[in-house]
Amino acid sequence: MRTLSDLDKKILAKIAPEFQGATGPAPGHDYKFVLLPVSHKLSESPEDFANRVNKLTDDELLYLIDLIKKGEEDVRSLAEGDYDALLEMIEKRLPGKTTGLKD
């Protein structure tokens, strides 16, 4: 089972400052993914979700893309429309990097 790395926690803090450095929904229950809690607990819309992720540096975004490609970041359980908005944002910002992310 995946445990968030320091980089994962940094990314989560950047796209979800509302969590104020928390890494889990309750003490002792760490998040296993970066995008899922943001999608389900904070984002108000697919556009809001994509805008949050767009705050990342290119290196941070490429890191998440790599996790998605390896199947280590759960994107199948994101709220409706969030994955499509994420792919659109990635394609605009980093053309060609969505290869391997689309079903």
Mean pLDDT to the nearest integer, 58-86: 95
pTM of the model: 0.87
Side-chain-facing half-sphere of 94: CA atoms under 13 Å: 19
CA atoms within 13 A on the CB side of 4: 22
For position 30, what pLDDT does the model report? 65
Give the model confidence (pLDDT) of 26-70 as tens digits: 443 467 899 999 999 999 999 999 999 999 999 999 999 999 999
